[in-house]
């Protein structure tokens, strides 16, 4: 039997409307030495029948039919356990990929021999039908091999702007995943937590410019809806705890990421919600080790981060700033 070069892991849950497009894009890849692992997480719609229909078209498809719904993290973990390929890549079942998706990722990771490769993605608005390239406001250098500690530090300092919260459009060495016991935690925003740990533990990685993944947004009645505030706060708490326990040298970058994301979240909430949730954030993340880093933060966000950190330190509710932001947009005024 031919060795499997790449295992494609696709968690499936109630996506009958989009699943055929996803699978069509995968079975028609220009790179053929793949296995396609579809994990049916107890779908209640026609998704499982569609998977069975595609098995008749392509014997590279394998179905793991779970008997209990435990969420996307568990489904991906089951897929990783089953995988036989030298490399792993993840695709969500309501998205699709370019025909050369696997070929581009495989050639890059073989060429550079890195632990993982990060490609670009395209956003498809399900309502307007418009496709846009994901904008990257970071200072990422493409096609440069990152392998020294200073490289990793730069990425983690810059993490608020790196497209690090998505596991799709990436390819990983399966040995890197297994040797480091990397898995998806059964909490919301599992992608952020997984990739945070991946960046910390990796010895080498590279960013490539190719846009190879279509990420579907603005989906009604989908699991892809925005996570609740409590979900995000729980994930931030887990991220801080994980970093404190295992990666203390990166704690400042962790605080920076959580603080900036929390400040932006507070500004998007209603004033009542912002007022209530600020103290939840403070209780979760603020302690004597709290410290942020401004190295790779743009001017607008430096102001936001400074004010939010000041409010945490002096126990001043950030909702007041959020209120000003809505009325006068003080960040824009200060910038001018």
| pLDDT for residue 120 is more than 60 | yes
Which one of 217, 245, 265 terminates a domain?
A: 217
Q: What is the mean pLDDT of the chain?
A: 88
Spatial CA neighbour of 182 closest among 202, 204, 161: 202
Instruction: Look at strands 116-125 and 96-97 and give their pairing.
Output: unpaired
**pLDDT bucket at 235, cuts 50 / 70 / 90:** confident
Phi first, then psi, for residue 36 (nearest 5°) are -115, 105
| pLDDT for residue 278 is more than 60 | yes
pLDDT of 171 reads: 98
Mean pLDDT, range 290-306, rounded to an integer: 89
The verdict on 179 and 116 lying in the same domain is yes
Q: At what angle do helices 271-285 and 319-328 cross, to 10 degrees?
A: 140
Q: At what angle do helices 299-314 and 251-268 cross, to 10 degrees?
A: 90
The verdict on 151 and 50 lying in the same domain is yes
pLDDT of 206 reads: 93
Helix (H, G, I), strand (E, B) or coil at 72: helix
140 with 207: CB under 8 angstroms? yes
Which one of 190, 217, 244 terminates a domain?
A: 217
**Lowest-confidence region among 42-56, 60-74, 152-166:** 152-166
Token representation of residue 273 = 């919600």
Mean pLDDT, range 297-313, rounded to an integer: 90
Indicate whether 302 belongs to any domain.
Answer: yes
To which residue do tokens 């925003």 refer? 189
Mean pLDDT, range 78-96, rounded to an integer: 97
| pLDDT for residue 231 is more than 70 | yes
pLDDT of 325 reads: 60
Token representation of residue 120 = 């670009």
Indicate whether 222 belongs to any domain.
Answer: no
- Other Cβ atoms closer than 10 A to 258: 24
The number of helix segments (H) and strand segments (E) in the chain equals 13, 9
Helix (H, G, I), strand (E, B) or coil at 215: strand
The verdict on 80 and 184 lying in the same domain is yes
**pLDDT bucket at 177, cuts 50 / 70 / 90:** very high
The verdict on 178 and 299 lying in the same domain is no
Indicate whether 141 belongs to any domain.
Answer: yes
Q: Which residue has the higher pLDDT, 54 or 336?
A: 54
The length of the chain is: 336
Distance of alpha carbon 75 from alpha carbon 183, whole angstroms: 11
The verdict on 25 and 146 lying in the same domain is yes
Distance of alpha carbon 179 from alpha carbon 272, whole angstroms: 46
Spell out the residues 6+ positions from residue 140 whose beta carbon is closer than 8 angstroms to its own. 155, 158, 162, 207
Task: Give 66-76 pLDDT, tens digit per residue.
Answer: 999 999 999 99
Distance of alpha carbon 52 from alpha carbon 46, whole angstroms: 10
CATH number for position 190: 3.90.550.10
The verdict on 151 and 26 lying in the same domain is yes
Of these ranges, 86-90, 144-148, 165-169, the one predicted with the greatest mean pLDDT is: 86-90
The verdict on 145 and 42 lying in the same domain is yes
Indicate whether 315 belongs to any domain.
Answer: yes
pLDDT of 217 reads: 86
Indicate whether 330 belongs to any domain.
Answer: yes
pLDDT of 223 reads: 40
Which one of 169, 192, 217 terminates a domain?
A: 217
The verdict on 209 and 238 lying in the same domain is no
The verdict on 15 and 139 lying in the same domain is yes
The verdict on 234 and 299 lying in the same domain is yes
Range of the domain at 247: 229-335
- Mapping DSSP onto H, E and C, the string for 17-43 reads CCHHHHHHHHHCCCCCCEEEEEEECCC
47 with 65: CB under 8 angstroms? no
Mean pLDDT, range 71-96, rounded to an integer: 97
| pLDDT for residue 96 is more than 60 | yes
Domain count along the chain: 2
Indicate whether 1 belongs to any domain.
Answer: no
Indicate whether 224 belongs to any domain.
Answer: no
Mean pLDDT, range 90-118, rounded to an integer: 97
The verdict on 86 and 204 lying in the same domain is yes
Catalogue the E-assigned strands of 93-203: 96-97, 116-125, 131-133, 170-173
pLDDT of 16 reads: 96
Q: Which residue has the higher pLDDT, 327 or 173?
A: 173
Indicate whether 262 belongs to any domain.
Answer: yes
Beta-bridge partner residues of 88 = 7, 172
Q: What percent of the chain has pLDDT over 90?
A: 59
pLDDT of 153 reads: 84
Query: What's this model's pTM, rounded to 2 decimal places?
Result: 0.89
H/E segment holding residue 232: helix 229-246
The verdict on 156 and 106 lying in the same domain is yes
| pLDDT for residue 5 is more than 90 | yes
Q: Which residue has the higher pLDDT, 73 or 327?
A: 73
To which residue do tokens 């990166």 refer? 250
User: DSSP letter at 32?
Assistant: -
């Amino acid at each position: 039997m031919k060795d499997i070069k790449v295992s494609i892991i696709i968690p499936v849950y109630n996506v009958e409307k989009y699943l055929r497009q996803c699978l069509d894009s995968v079975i028609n890849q220009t790179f053929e030495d793949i296995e396609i692992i579809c994990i049916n997480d107890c779908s209640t719609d026609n998704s499982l029948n569609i998977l069975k229909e595609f098995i008749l078209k392509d014997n590279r498809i394998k179905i793991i039919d779970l008997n209990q719904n435990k969420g996307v993290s568990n489904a991906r973990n089951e897929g990783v356990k089953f995988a036989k390929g030298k490399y792993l890549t993840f695709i969500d079942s309501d998205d699709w990929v370019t025909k050369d998706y696997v070929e581009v990722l495989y050639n890059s990771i073989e060429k550079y021999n890195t632990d993982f490769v990060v490609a670009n993605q395209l956003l498809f608005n399900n309502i307007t039908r418009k496709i846009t390239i994901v904008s990257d406001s970071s200072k990422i250098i493409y096609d440069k091999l990152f392998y020294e500690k200073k490289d990793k530090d730069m990425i983690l300092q810059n993490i608020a702007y790196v497209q690090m919260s998505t596991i799709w459009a990436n390819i990983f060495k399966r040995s890197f995943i297994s040797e480091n016991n990397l898995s998806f935690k059964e909490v919301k925003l599992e992608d952020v937590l997984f990739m945070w740990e991946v960046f910390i533990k990796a010895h080498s990685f590279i960013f490539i410019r190719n846009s190879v993944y279509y990420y579907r947004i603005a989906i009604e009645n989908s699991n892809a809806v925005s996570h609740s505030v409590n979900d995000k706060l729980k994930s931030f708490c887990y991220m801080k705890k994980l970093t404190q326990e295992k990666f203390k040298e990166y704690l400042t970058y962790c605080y920076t990421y959580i603080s900036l994301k929390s400040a932006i979240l507070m500004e998007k909430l209603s004033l009542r919600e912002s007022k209530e949730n600020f103290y939840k954030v403070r209780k979760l993340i603020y302690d004597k080790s709290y410290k942020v880093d401004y190295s790779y933060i743009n001017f607008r966000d430096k102001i936001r981060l400074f004010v939010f950190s000041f409010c945490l330190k002096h126990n001043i509710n950030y909702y007041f700033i959020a209120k000003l932001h809505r009325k006068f947009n003080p960040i824009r005024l200060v910038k001018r």
